[in-house]
A and B are shown apart, each in its own frame.
Chain A
Amino acid sequence: MNKPMTAAALALAFGAAMTVAAMPAAAQDKMSEKEKCFGVALKGKNDCKAGAGTSCAGTSKIDNQGNSWSFVPKGTCEKTASKTSPTGFGQANEFMEKKV
């Protein structure tokens, strides 16, 4: 690849690539691709509604969090290998919000 590339060589590569691209997905394992198409179901984020409740009503969407941090990640991350945690969960307890 370090030699100057010619137009003919590039056209040839394109030709080969078109053959590869036309093959059924199963035949392309050597490309080690993982792919999947999913429609993103995004919502429209601009609206004229109000979020439910004030700072004291009883819904889960209420913004009543104080600024002392009390959460640890509790989601699907718990299923991943823990060796990826160089700093450990202990970090979370030491966090204090920086003044904005």
Chain B
Amino acid sequence: MTLHATAVPFKDGASTLFPGGLPARGGVGLKPEHFREIIESKPDIGFFEVHAENYMVDGGPFHHYLGRIRADYPLSIHGVGLSIGGESALDRQHLDRLAALIARYRPQSFSEHLAWSSHGDLFLNDLLPAPYNARTLDLVCGHIDQTQEHLRCRMLLENPATYVEFAASTMAETDFMAEVLRRTGCGLLLDVNNVYVSCINRGRDPNAWLDACFASIPLSSIAEIHLAGFAQDYDSSGASLLIDSHGSPVARAVWELYRRAIGRTGPLATLLERDNDIPPFQALLAEVSMAEKIMYADAPRALSGEVCA
């Protein structure tokens, strides 16, 4: 069995990604609502992240603005439609489109979700859950191997926000993810909001999740963090049911969890996601500052963004 450190595929130089990885700073999800303001005001921000599928169009304003913004900032391309956890085979055409996008923009990072969104020729446009067991593990690892080989880069896998559990699950989420990382050499995109949402929705302790994560996953394979806001709902018994809505500021409890995570990882590229009720750009910048304050005030390690180098 290969050691994890040597299993990392496509290190800098051999990779189609821009070398060096994302900087250990705060970043923001790029929204068309903010295109012009970003170009005009050139905010001091670490990086931008885009959803790959939105740029799978031939031309026009989206490519125009992304090209201009990419010239000034590091970029993360974050896929939402590959359906890595799906029973269906990966869509080779979609992989080709991802490869073209990566070739065009040379992002510092490419990531996708531990979830599925397609079934046969149906696209369901949501990140759907799968049971954590040996069968799903084989499926996910096969799809990640195929993706990394096709795109010729190391990808990051994001832990999901989930609302249900499966009787067929036999593994803890952290054990499942650790095994995926070990087998495929992919990195982890640690979505701290998803950790919180999923743990509350499964009656677990988010801090314990983080501890289990750090116990089983090498710090060096954690390459990015996501932060977002959730919405509060309730299940049929009146217990909290949290929705990963990306529609509000980051919750205090999630900031606390972030503080705990960054205390272990050191400063790390941290994305503020906002996809619903998008506020003025300045409001997002305030959250970015908060993240950078936490990562540099609380983190033991100085400036070590090149975790994937």
Contacts and interface: CB of A to CB of B under 8 A. Distances in A.
Interface of A: 39-54, 56-57
Contacts of B243: 50, 52-54
17 contacts: A44-B32, A45-B54, A46-B53, A46-B54, A46-B125, A47-B51, A47-B275, A48-B51, A48-B78, A48-B80, A48-B275, A49-B246, A50-B231, A50-B243, A50-B245, A52-B247, A52-B276
Given A41-B33, A44-B51, A52-B245, 9 more contacts: A46-B52, A46-B53, A46-B81, A47-B54, A48-B51, A49-B244, A49-B275, A49-B276, A54-B241
Interface of B: 31-33, 50-54, 61-62, 78, 80-81, 113, 125-127, 161, 228, 231, 233, 241, 243-247, 273, 275-276
B61 A49 contact: no
A40 B32 CA distance: 11
Contacts of A39: 61
A46 B81 CA distance: 8
Which secondary structure characterizes the binding site on chain B?
Answer: mixed
A43 B113 CA distance: 22
A33 to B, nearest CB: 24
Contacts of B244: 49-50
Contact of B233 (A40, A44, A48, A57): A57
B2 to A, nearest CB: 31
A51 B233 CA distance: 12
A59 to B, nearest CB: 8
Contacts of A48: 51, 78, 80, 113, 127, 246, 273, 275
A44 B62 contact: yes
B61 A47 contact: no
A49 B53 contact: no
A49 to B, nearest CB: 4
A53 B231 contact: yes
A52 B228 CA distance: 14
Contacts of B246: 47-50
Contact of A47 (B62, B80, B161): B80
A24 B228 CA distance: 51
A6 to B, nearest CB: 37
